[in-house]
């Protein structure tokens, strides 16, 4: 979508978008720029649009796919895995601070309260302005700022209920309370948000179970705090300190269904995905994120505008315990010792991923003359991450039907600790070659040092815990062997060049080439390896191969992006259409045994995005979006295979009609996800069945504020999300959850 026009504030002047659109300023490109100067697909989602979609239990991962055409479908669980942008990972920023880290767990959009968001800027396609993580584009989430008044308050209270299960177990609540103001040169904001979520229920009124692979959000409470302190030294110079904290923790007595005692689902049985009461688990899934950011701006530093940012952030993600089983094939020479030819290795473990990140970003915008300027600067980032796990008693897990989790032993390594240091320099030239044409060209150089620690693979830990007593008499000097760490160095050069031609007062065409890259997730890729000295390589014929980090094919995966587009904006309508293509020479593959490989395979993705908004009159507007993505990879055999739906998202169509009055707004919107069976035909992923959802969003002025009533999944459609269909094919039936049925939410919001 070139720009989003779906205004939600009640208004009787809905068709005044054209002048705004041409002069709208965004900051996702690291400096304040008008949309009409950018040779890329750009979208700005304002606060009214976001708040119109908000209801208890929803997060940005639920909201944004209904507004951004190229973004993957909502997952309705904690992860945003599969929510790619143009088939590639998207870089999430919060107030300009990258949320990317080397162990890139997909919870960014579920770890910020939507009620705190002022606007969201989306720049599709990579650019040399940013480094790792944004091969598909950038989503910059900008939180609310201080009021210009001396003292102002904001309050929001809301609740949500399932229409199929009308009791306290189906209610969710949320709140926001904020105080802010500006006194002389000092500004301040303090905001607290909270949410109490109960159960989620499907279209039949059945409780939806926790998702055992990536964690669900039912029966989870969250709390968030945002504090901003600013000081304006003079007209050109200001400083701002931001503290942002969010925590969410599940507390449920329901578990996923593994088929009862004996957990037959773990061994391939087909069981119903449903919630089973009786869960006994002390340490339940959790998300916690803390960020401290210092921003400094001087708009006249030796003739340049200087922006400096220093940040610190840390996060901790705890998963649901995951049961799996693997059968090791014993080498013939050792079968007499084991008295069998196979050694089962059932495991129940719960992992926790942690990251700590420090960094600085320095940006200068310098005018060369009236027609040209350059943006240039330096970035530094230090990312320290680790993932650990704890085991649970397998017998209790099996006998209880996956309800009882009794911890055993101490925590163990779940991949190596990884420290990634990135130093980068970039420059981008903007040149108005004529009154209507603007050209942009940029370059970025990054030096990346990855320090991988020694680590004992989890399979070693599992094996020696279960078979150590049996093996030790034959190999008294043997034991768990660590994979030796190493230091990896990368150099990445990124380039972009594009041009935009304002062919009339109301239309623009643009063409753009840009490059981005992804760092290999070393901790994840090395989790399943074994040391060359591991006894397991001798004992078992299917234990895998030895891992030598120095010889591993780790390298920055460069992505080359091309796009060509047109956008138009008039008094009564706006529209856009963009064709895109991107290519990389490496492919990350998620295997059926949950391992991940980085392969030397060419991966290409192409597609189309289009938007239309029509202002029928001062009260009625209508429109929608469409996106189509095709992705394929070519293996060593030369055969092309279509990508899974978690990469190349199924085609998506959204539509809406909205009525705006002076004290009343109502919007009927739909989202259709089309069937996707291409990967299944190549035996490369799940066969995805499409679905359509319909929502009714209403807001009316009542007293000093606005009453909002939203009905989601209005027709109570029964379906599974794209993620749940993929997860069922990948992890088993316990992950094949039904989507949420019809819900009704009410909230009251006022500013005073």
Q: Residue 593 — pLDDT band, cuts 50, 70, 90?
A: low
Query: Which H or E run contains 724?
Result: helix 722-731
pLDDT above 80: residue 553: no
34-48, 252-266, 368-382, 569-583: the lowest-pLDDT one: 34-48
683 pLDDT band, cuts 50/70/90, is: confident
3-state secondary structure 547-590: CCHHHCCCCCEEEEEEEEEEEEECCCEEEEEEEEEEEECCEEEE
What whole-number distance in Å separates Cα of residue 404 and Cα of residue 281? Answer: 7
194 forms beta bridges with 175, 223
> CA 494, CA 478: separation in Å to the nearest integer?
47
Q: Supply the pLDDT for residue 129.
A: 81
pLDDT score for 522: 79
- What DSSP designation does 280 have? B
- Residue 220: band (very low, low, confident or very high) from pLDDT cuts 50, 70, 90: very high
Residue 224 has pLDDT above 60, yes or no: yes
Tell whether the model's pLDDT for residue 598 goes beyond 70.
no
DSSP assignment string, 420-434 = EEEEEEEEEEEEE-S
In the block, which residue shows the tokens 């650990």?
A: 388
Predicted pLDDT at 5: 34
Strands 90-94 and 137-143: parallel
- Are 642 and 631 in contact by the 8 Å Cβ rule? The answer is yes
How far apart (Å, rounded) are the C-alpha atoms in residues 27 and 95?
A: 10
Nearest alpha-carbon partner for 2 in 134, 121, 141, 142: 121
Band of residue 666 on the pLDDT scale cut at 50, 70, 90: very high
Q: What's the confidence (pLDDT) of residue 19?
A: 36
Span of 26-30, 67-71, 372-376, 659-663 with lowest mean pLDDT: 26-30
Provide the Cα torsion 631, 637, 639, 640; round to 10°.
0
The pLDDT, as a whole number, for residue 10 is 37
Q: Look at residue 668 in the predicted model and tell me its pLDDT.
A: 98
Domains and CATH numbers, the chain: 18-751 (2.40.170.20)
Average model confidence (pLDDT) for the chain? 90
Q: How confident is the model at residue 26 (pLDDT cuts 50, 70, 90)?
A: low
Given pLDDT bands bounded at 50, 70 and 90, which one contains residue 401? very high
Rounded to whole angstroms, how far apart are CA atoms 312 and 361? 12
Q: Which pLDDT tens digit goes with each residue over 646-659?
A: 999 999 999 999 99
Paired tokens of 614: 């029509």
Residue 217 in this model has a pLDDT that exceeds 60: yes
Q: What is the pLDDT, as a whole number, of residue 115?
A: 94
Closest by CA position to 229, among listed 182, 192, 276: 182
pLDDT at 6: 35
pLDDT band at 338 (very low <50, low <70, confident <90, very high): confident
C-alpha 301: how far from its chain's center? Answer: 36
Q: How many CA atoms lie within 13 A of 504 on its CB side?
A: 8
Is the distance from CB of 497 to CB of 440 less than 8 angstroms? yes
Contact 66, 50 (CB under 8 A): no
Range from 312-326, 495-509, 678-692, 694-708 carrying the lowest mean pLDDT: 678-692
Question: Which residue, 213, 318, 321, is CA-closest to 273?
Answer: 213
pLDDT digit string, tens, across residues 520-529: 787 888 888 8
Q: Bigger pLDDT: 125 or 201?
A: 201
Q: Where residue 27 falls among pLDDT bands split at 50, 70, 90? A: low
Region 421-450: what's the mean pLDDT? 94
State yes or no: pLDDT of 24 exceeds 70: no
Distance CA 563, CA 412 (A): 46
Given a contact cutoff of 8 angstroms between Cβ atoms, the answer to whether 695 and 713 are in contact is: yes
Compute the chain's Rg from CA coordinates.
26
What is the model's pLDDT at position 215? 86
pLDDT score for 15: 34
Say yes or no to pLDDT of 353 above 90.
Answer: yes
Model confidence at 2, in pLDDT bands (50, 70, 90)? very low
Query: Mean of the pLDDT values across residues 38-61?
Result: 92
Q: What is the pLDDT of residue 744?
A: 97
Model confidence pLDDT, tens digit, residues 279-319: 999 999 999 999 999 999 999 998 899 999 999 999 999 99
State what percent of residues in the chain have pLDDT above 90.
Answer: 77
Half-sphere exposure of 740 (CA within 13 A, CB side): 28
At 682 the pLDDT is 78
Confidence of residue 591 (pLDDT cuts 50, 70, 90): low
Of all residues in the chain, what percent carry a pLDDT higher than 70? 94
Q: Which residues sit opposite 641 in a β-bridge?
A: 633
| Angstrom distance (rounded) from CA 722 to CA 137 | 21
Query: 596 pLDDT exceeds 70?
Result: no
Tell me which DSSP letter residue 77 carries: S
Is a pLDDT exceeding 80 seen at residue 670?
A: yes
* pTM, to two decimals: 0.93
Strand ranges inside 212-253, DSSP E: 220-232, 237-250
Question: How do residues 238-267 score in pLDDT, each as one tens digit?
Answer: 999 999 999 999 999 999 999 999 999 988
Q: Pick the closest to residue 734 from 265, 359, 329 (CA basis).
A: 265
**Spatial CB neighbours of 594, under 8 Å, sequence gap ≥ 6:** 324, 730, 731
Question: Which tops the pLDDT comparison, 427 or 165?
Answer: 427
Check residue 13 and give its pLDDT.
36
Least confident of 75-84, 144-153, 460-469, 681-690: 681-690
Distance CA 247, CA 225 (A): 9
Distances in Å between the Cα of 712 and the Cα atoms of 74, 76, 172, 674, 722 are 13, 13, 14, 19, 18
Alpha-carbon distance 27 to 143, whole Å? 13
Region 140-160: what's the mean pLDDT? 96
């Amino acid at each position: 979508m070139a720009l989003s026009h779906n205004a939600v504030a009640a208004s009787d002047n809905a068709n005044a978008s054209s002048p705004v659109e041409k002069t709208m300023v965004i900051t996702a490109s690291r400096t304040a720029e008008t949309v009409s100067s950018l040779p890329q697909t750009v979208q700005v989602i304002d606060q009214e649009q976001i708040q119109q979609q908000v209801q208890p239990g929803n997060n940005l991962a639920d909201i944004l796919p209904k507004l951004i055409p190229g973004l993957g479908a909502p997952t309705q669980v904690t992860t945003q895995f599969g929510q790619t942008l143009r088939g590639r990972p998207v870089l999430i920023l919060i107030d300009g601070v990258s949320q990317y880290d080397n162990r890139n767990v997909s919870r960014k959009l579920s770890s910020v309260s939507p009620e705190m968001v002022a606007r969201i800027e989306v720049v599709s396609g990579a650019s040399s302005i940013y480094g790792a993580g944004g091969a598909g584009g950038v989503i910059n989430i900008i939180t609310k700022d201080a009021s210009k008044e001396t003292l102002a308050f904001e309050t929001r209270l809301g609740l949500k209920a399932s229409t199929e299960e009308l009791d306290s177990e189906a209610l969710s609540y949320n709140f926001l309370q904020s105080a802010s103001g500006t006194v002389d040169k000092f500004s301040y904001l303090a905001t607290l948000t909270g949410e109490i979520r109960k159960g989620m229920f499907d279209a039949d009124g059945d409780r939806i179970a926790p998702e055992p692979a990536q964690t669900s959000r039912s029966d989870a409470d969250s709390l968030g705090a945002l504090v901003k302190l600013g000081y304006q030294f003079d007209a050109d110079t200001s400083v701002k300190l931001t503290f942002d904290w969010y925590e969410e923790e599940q507390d449920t007595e329901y578990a996923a269904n593994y088929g009862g005692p004996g957990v037959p689902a773990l061994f391939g049985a087909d069981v119903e995905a449903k919630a089973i009461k009786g869960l006994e688990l002390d340490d339940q899934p959790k998300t916690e994120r803390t960020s401290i950011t210092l921003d400094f701006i001087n708009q006249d530093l030796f003739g340049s505008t200087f922006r400096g940012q220093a940040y610190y952030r840390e996060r901790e993600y705890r998963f649901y315990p995951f049961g799996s089983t693997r059968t090791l094939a014993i080498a013939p020479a050792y079968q007499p010792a084991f008295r069998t030819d196979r050694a089962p290795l059932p495991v129940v473990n719960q992992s926790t991923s942690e990251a700590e990140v420090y960094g600085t970003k320095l940006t200068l915008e310098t005018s060369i003359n009236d027609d040209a300027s350059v943006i240039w600067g330096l970035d530094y980032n230090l990312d320290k991450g680790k993932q650990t796990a704890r085991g649970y008693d397998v017998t209790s897990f099996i006998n209880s039907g996956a309800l009882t989790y009794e911890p055993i032993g101490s925590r163990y390594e779940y991949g190596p600790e990884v420290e990634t240091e990135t130093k980068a320099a970039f420059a981008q030239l903007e040149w108005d070659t004529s009154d209507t044409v603007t050209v942009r060209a940029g370059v970025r150089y990054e030096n990346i040092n990855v320090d991988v620690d020694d680590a004992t693979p989890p399979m070693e830990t599992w094996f020696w815990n279960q078979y150590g007593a049996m093996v030790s008499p034959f190999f008294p000097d043997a034991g768990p062997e660590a994979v030796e760490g190493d230091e990896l160095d990368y150099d990445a050069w990124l380039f972009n060049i594009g041009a935009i031609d304002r062919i009339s007062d109301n239309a623009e065409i643009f063409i753009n080439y840009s490059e981005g890259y992804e760092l290999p997730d070393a901790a994840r890729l090395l989790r399943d390896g074994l040391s060359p000295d591991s006894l397991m390589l001798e004992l078992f014929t299917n234990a895998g191969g030895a891992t030598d980090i120095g010889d591993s094919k780790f390298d920055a995966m460069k992505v080359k992006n091309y796009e060509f587009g047109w956008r138009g904006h008039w008094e009564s309508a706006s529209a856009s259409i963009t064709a895109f293509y991107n290519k990389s020479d490496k492919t990350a593959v998620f295997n059926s045994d949950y391992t991940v490989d980085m392969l030397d395979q060419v991966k290409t993705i192409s597609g189309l995005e289009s938007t239309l908004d029509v202002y029928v009159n001062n009260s009625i507007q209508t429109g929608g979006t469409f996106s189509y993505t095709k992705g394929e990879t070519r293996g060593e055999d030369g055969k092309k295979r279509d990508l899974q739906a978690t990469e190349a998202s199924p085609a998506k169509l959204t539509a809406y009609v909205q009525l705006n009055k002076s004290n009343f707004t109502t919007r009927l919107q739909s989202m259709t996800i089309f069937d996707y069976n291409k990967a299944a035909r190549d035996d490369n992923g799940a066969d995805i069945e499409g679905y359509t959802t319909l929502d009714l969003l209403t807001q009316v002025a009542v007293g000093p504020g606005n009453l909002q009533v939203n009905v989601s999944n209005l027709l109570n459609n029964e379906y599974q999300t794209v993620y749940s269909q993929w997860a069922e094919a990948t992890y088993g039936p316990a992950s094949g959850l039904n989507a949420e049925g019809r819900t009704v939410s009410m909230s009251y919001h006022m500013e005073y």
